[in-house]
Structure 1
């Protein structure tokens, strides 16, 4: 995918309301097999029983779009105990040895966005250190997105499901829109390295068809390095995993909210450097495909028979990809799962062939 800012080529906006897709038995069996499906003591619906909520402000007094929930005392005591238990399952496989000095400090709810999550703040009573995790409705397309992120990205994702409930770990980092406002123009920010990482992130999203990566749907991690800093951009919203019909919605470069990052790329990187970083990312992804090929095959076999988008969006996306790559084979895809698998083969085929030639360890 050529990296550019073309007039009239803005991605547009994703669907205002994406439907939830239920977790069918084949996916549920896959989650059980790989330790994702567990029995949890609290469900998403249990948390909906709050009596009141008040807007949550940040340190500067700005609205965060989150609300802090209030529950009846007996309800709160019950939820607090169970939510600490869920945190122990998420972090220590259910070892409650340290549960005595953990407490629930706050339960927040966000009406904004598609998933309407609850955010649980867990605090250490001894030192006031805190951590978060999220409870959401278990949506099949989001689960596929989380699993593909775990298998194909540089990041590992911890999440659990329990029938209709999804629990996700907190992904640390500076929200992409906040980074633009507070860090992009900082004299200590290495703009060249940040531009390189945005090119790689753009490539990762397109290869595995993760959509709607506007700046507030990803975070930027900063790691001190020899004499400077390295950056890692991580997706935090997986609702738009292979759901939309427009190809450009899977390319962060085309969202107007990301223009400052795109301008950084155009200013600091030439064509050869951009292509180099794209090839680097595809090569790394190809190695991940090889390393997890059996699990990926299992996932795609399930995903191929699952309905996680509309027939109209599927038809549009496979048509646009077929025209872009000049590859009519895309038109044979009968589901979004098949289309994602075809997209991986199309974008990584040269890299996979090279790995196979070098190691002799990979077959289609």
Structure 2
């Protein structure tokens, strides 16, 4: 169970995007001239609470706008969807429409969720518009480079646009699926171990069950599972090491119990090593890009001095080294945690590459 000091911050400040990060985003095609900004969507006339099929409050509200605003919003949001999905090919936009704009009053980012519908077949898709935040951008970019998942997002006009990440929300999976007889408990436990490792190595915090989704894929004889983070607000912000380990959140207890029941210590260590090896391979493949990002991050302010001091002491104790005590920013801590976690795996990769070229 968590006490008050173990809980993530209820409200995290937004951190501005500095010049170096802006140039990085432009270099890698993330920064563009967006047709609409977050502030445009804030001009809500009134809103209606959204409830789920059981009538429970979803913490989202359906935003409604004056007709004078709607024409601009509708066209801009459809065009933005085309930019996000087809690099700005507007050929198909004539049969698209904006079905709904939802606004979330819960959490740090207060996002807008845009529902785009195909008028030919009523198929719909979502994307999100949020206030620009440097720490969140670092989280998205690290996810894109170091995880097995690719992330599509765009920045511009002090606005952040993110694709919808499909999957069953972790809390819904716990409630409705985790105990089903067809759920492969061992494979699910293995994936939770790997997810736990990914979050800690790149210091992604607050991965409670409603901040990640579970993807279930049919396999030759059974199912495979992938746990994906969907909330990156708490990238390298908190001051407690436990907040970067999903295993310590009470909301994730069913996953922890499943893991302890079905996996022994040797298997857990094996899966942790497998995940570190995969991250090391991705780092080796994208070494220039990741080093550019980490160098920019190491000079940026994305947390408070108090949280940084507390975290570097806990991490120094964890890795049993005083090197981490010299870190002046959260970015430097991320760089050092990656270094200490992946060093043996990167060494083997480098050695194997040397053997190939000899």
Instruction: State the TM-score, normalizing by the size of structure 1.
Output: 0.96
Alignment of 1:267-346 (within 5 A): 267-346=261-340
- Deviations along 1:302-341, whole A, 9 cap, x unmatched? 1111100011111111111001111111111111111100
Q: Tell whether 2:181 aligns with 1:191.
A: no
Q: Within 5 A, what are the aligned runs for 1:1-364? A: 12-360=6-354
- Cα distance in 1 for partners of 2:158, 2:52 equals 31
Deviating above 4 A after TM superposition, structure 1's stretches of 4 or more consecutive aligned residues are 7-11
Tell me, what secondary structure is at the counterpart of 1:97?
A: helix
- Could you say what secondary structure the match of 1:98 adopts? helix
Q: Which moved more, 1:180-189 or 1:211-220?
A: 180-189
Alpha-carbon offset, residue 64 of structure 1: 1.1
User: In structure 2, the residue corresponding to 1:300 is in which secondary structure?
Assistant: helix
Q: Structure 1: how far apart are the matches of 2:146 and 2:161?
A: 20
Give secondary structure in 1 for the equivalent of 2:6: coil
Gaps of 5+ in 2: none
Distance 2:110 2:36 in 1: 17
Shift of 1:76: 1.2
Contact 1:150 1:157 in 2 (8 A): yes
SS of residue matched to 2:33:
coil
- Assess if the C-alpha contact under 8 Å between 1:214 and 1:255 holds in 2: yes
Q: Contact 2:101/2:112 (CA < 8 Å) preserved in 1?
A: yes
Q: Contact 2:34/2:157 (CA < 8 Å) preserved in 1?
A: no
- The size of the alignment, in residue pairs, is 356
- SS of the counterpart of 1:274? helix
2: distance between equivalents of 1:74 and 1:141?
35
Superposition deviation, residue 10 in structure 1? 9.8
CA distance in structure 1 between the partners assigned to 2:346 and 2:150 by the alignment: 22
For structure 1, list consecutive stretches of 5 or more residues without a partner in the other structure: 1-6
Distance, in Å, in 1 between the alignment partners of 2:190 and 2:235 is 24
Q: Distance in 2 between matches of 1:49 and 1:339?
A: 40
The Cα of 1:163 is off from its aligned counterpart by 3.1
Distance across 2 between alignment mates of 1:271 and 1:77: 59
CA offsets per residue over residues 273-294 of structure 1, 9 Å max, x none? 1011000000000000000100
1:267 partner SS: helix
Superposition TM-score, scaled by structure 2 size: 0.97
The whole-number CA distance in structure 2 between the counterparts of 1:23 and 1:360 is 39
C-alpha distance in 2, partners of 1:290/1:81? 42
Matched residue of 1:120: which SS?
strand
Cα offset, 1:25, TM superposition: 1.0
| Structure 1: distance between partners of 2:157 and 2:5 | 34
Is residue 132–residue 170 contact of structure 1 (8 Å, CA) maintained in 2?
A: yes
**CA distance in 2: counterparts of 1:308 and 1:156, whole angstroms:** 23
Q: Is the 8 A contact 1:286 1:352 kept in 2?
A: yes
Offset at residue 71 of structure 1 (A): 0.5
1:3 corresponding residue in structure 2: none
Q: Following the alignment from structure 2 to structure 1, what is the Cα–Cα distance between the partners of residues 168 and 63? A: 25
